Amino acid sequence: MSFDMNKLMQQAAQMQAQVQQMQEDAVKETAEASVGGGLVKVTANGAGAVLSIEISPDAIDPSDPEALGDLVLAGVNEALRSAAAKVEAKAQQMQSELLGGLGLPGLSG
């Protein structure tokens, strides 16, 4: 089995470029979560930023502000989790393609 160092270095540079692209794409990858039967809707991106929160007037009960806080928290967590899952799925696909392309025993997809 021959080992081509130039090919390995070229593939490492390609992998670095793809990781950078993936990080840039994570900002664009969005997910929306709706909780409380649509009372609160949250949109987040794969970079961990909350982009928007929409609160229905029906969700606002002055006698129970904790309920609204719980809905917002649940919506934010779900939107962030969903966006991160999308990014993770793309990262796993990319990793599989890259490792398969290295031609190393035991690493091909």
pLDDT of residue 109: 43
Encoding tokens for residue 92? 């796993």
Distance CA 18, CA 64 (A): 48
Distance of CA 29 to the CA centre of its chain: 7
31 DSSP β-pair partners: 44
Residue 103 has pLDDT above 70, yes or no: no
pLDDT at 105 over 70: no
| Domain range list for the chain | 37-82
pLDDT at 65: 95
Residues in a beta bridge with 41: 34, 54
Is it the case that residue 83 has pLDDT exceeding 60?
A: yes
Q: Give the CATH number of domain 37-82; options: 3.30.1310.10, 3.40.50.880, 3.60.150.10, 3.40.190.180.
A: 3.30.1310.10
Give the torsion through C-alpha atoms of 35, 28, 93, 17, to 10 deg: -150
Q: Is the pLDDT of residue 101 over 70?
A: no
Residue 6: band (very low, low, confident or very high) from pLDDT cuts 50, 70, 90: confident
Mean pLDDT for the stretch of residues 7-14: 82
| Mode of pairing for the β-strands spanning 30-35 and 50-55 | unpaired
pTM exceeding 0.85: no
